[in-house]
Amino acid sequence: MTSHHRWHRPAVLATATLAALSLSSGIASAGPGGWVPSPGSDGAGDSYYPQDGNGGYDVADYNLKVDYAPDTHQLTGLQTISARATQSLSSFDLDLRGLTVDSVKVNGRTAQFSRTGDHELVIKPSFPLLRGLPFQAVVAYHGVPASIHDPALGANGWQFAKSGGAFAAGEPKSATTWYPVNDTPRDKATFHLAITVPDEWGVIANGRETGSRKTANGTTHQWVETTPVAPYMTTVAIDKWTFDRQKRKDGTPIVSAFAPGTPDSTKQAEARLPEILDFLESKFGRYPVDAAGGIFLAEPIGFSLETLSRPIYSGRAGNVDTIVHENAHQWYGDTVAVDHWKDVCLNECFASYATWLWDEAKNGVDLDAQYLDQVKRASTSFWNGKLYDMGPGNEFTYVYSKGPMALHALSKYMGQAAFDRVLKTWNTVHHNGNASMQEFQHYAEQVSHRDLQGFFDAWIYGNGKPAEQYLYPGDLKPAA
């Protein structure tokens, strides 16, 4: 887990004076993380996507102002990033794909910048940034956003709707297609968005609505997400929405948006969201986000996505099971995010198992019988599917099918009471942080007072059909 200390809207620093004092003090230490300024890393070091994200700083808040013209697809943005240097920086990188950068300022002074690779924006401040101190970077940019093609999932990032609107959705990459960002799940930040569109268009995004106002260019819509969010979980969607607004019993706002042509069956499924969140709370603990809802597209894109507080749904996925799955991610995947992408089972295995738990509670499904039937029907290729360190591009495969089976077997192996306690407290232990599969294993061992290495080797870290002691633990018995 990586713990971040947050700074809110830091003041502009007298960087030149501080830099001079530091460099003349005689106590400077060389090397990364020391006091001598050096370039921040151009990648965050993920084992699958090492160039995604950057090093040398920690973002506290993104404050993004965007003008978007649906008729031309032109986006004009002004991004203000509040961050803290984790090393003394002579330069640092942000991630941005394709769009044209017009200017950069750091702590109020014009900064040099250059572009390298397919998404690196390299920024050199007028004066070095000192380790441990907050700084602010402001990037003005414009252009027509372009999506990223994923061989398995299709288009990711900024995408255009047939209605003429647009939306942002993608995993593991998305945010870089529409704003400058430190694109790693390990650097979460709060997110302020003010987006101006022509008056006839509606906007929905993460978090809470904080107002709208008329401008010369249309209407500016303001949304604020105060729960620290991983960049790929941020979203905005522009269309001629039908909105549904309600509240949970505790006052949490629920805002859902339906694209033109959304079937009544989808709206009826989303109407059950308060019931779904109540159920998930009973299994996973208190709802960990400050808002809720859903964004229901007309487009049948290749996935639905757990964008924080307000999942975004493919036009062909407006059903209760998908709504349960994506909202379970608010606990597993969003407020507790992966440490590295090889840990993605911590997201998808658990959200998939949430639909099993829902079917048991609401539809009377016998989970033991379901599990045993799936064991009986499983193929060799199924057992060889990996749930951990499955390789880049293979993250979103067996985690949806083999993953919930592994968790059901784990509930029997470690004992139901201990398993239920782990499910309900995991988010509290790692709330707003990141976690690895090894940390989950160790926590499950701590709660159950059992050595679970053999089980995790059989189901999670290895592949092949698990030995019978792990395949049929507890009161699970092989199907006749």
In this structure, the number of other CB atoms found within 10 A of the CB of residue 217 comes to: 14
Domain boundary residue, one of 191, 212, 240: 240
Q: What is the pLDDT of residue 15?
A: 39
Question: What is the rounded distance in angstroms from the CA atom of residue 226 to the CA atom of residue 340?
Answer: 24
Q: Of all helices (H) and strands (E), which one includes residue 235? A: none
Q: What is the pLDDT of residue 49?
A: 96
Task: Quick: pLDDT tens for 361-386.
Answer: 999 999 999 999 999 999 999 999 99
Residue 22 lies in a domain: yes
Shared domain for 219 and 363, answered yes or no, is no
Distance from the Cα of residue 479 to its chain's centroid: 39
Residue 108 lies in a domain: yes
Cβ-in-10-Å burial (0-12, 13-18, 19+) of 31 comes to exposed
Task: Quick: pLDDT tens for 416-440.
Answer: 999 999 999 999 999 999 999 999 9
Q: What is the pLDDT of residue 18?
A: 39
Shared domain for 170 and 22, answered yes or no, is yes
Residue 76 lies in a domain: yes
Residue 9 lies in a domain: no
Q: What is the pLDDT of residue 33?
A: 58
Please, are residues 193 and 223 in contact by the beta-carbon 8 Å criterion? yes
Q: What is the pLDDT of residue 10?
A: 35
Residue 150 lies in a domain: yes
Q: CATH number of the domain that 21 lies in?
A: 2.60.40.1730
Q: Which residues of the chain have pLDDT under 50?
A: 1-29
Q: What is the pLDDT of residue 7?
A: 31
Q: What is the pTM of this model?
A: 0.92
Question: What is the rounded distance in angstroms from the CA atom of residue 288 to the CA atom of residue 135?
Answer: 29
Buried b (16+ CB within 10 A) or exposed e, 300-311: ebebbbbbbbbb
Domain boundary residue, one of 240, 267, 293: 240
Shared domain for 215 and 99, answered yes or no, is yes
Residue 254 lies in a domain: no
Q: What is the pLDDT of residue 224?
A: 98
Structural domain range at position 57:
15-240
DSSP string, 334-347: ISEEESSGGGTHHH
Residue 253 lies in a domain: no
- Show the tokens assigned to 327: 């909202």
Q: CATH number of the domain that 373 lies in?
A: 1.10.390.10
Domain boundary residue, one of 210, 240, 270: 240
Q: What is the pLDDT of residue 35?
A: 81
Instruction: Write down the residue that tokens 């090894």 correspond to.
Output: 438
Shared domain for 350 and 223, answered yes or no, is no
The total number of structural domains in the chain stands at: 2
Residue 380 lies in a domain: yes
Please, are residues 120 and 93 in contact by the beta-carbon 8 Å criterion? yes
Alpha carbons within 13 A on the beta-carbon side of 42: 12
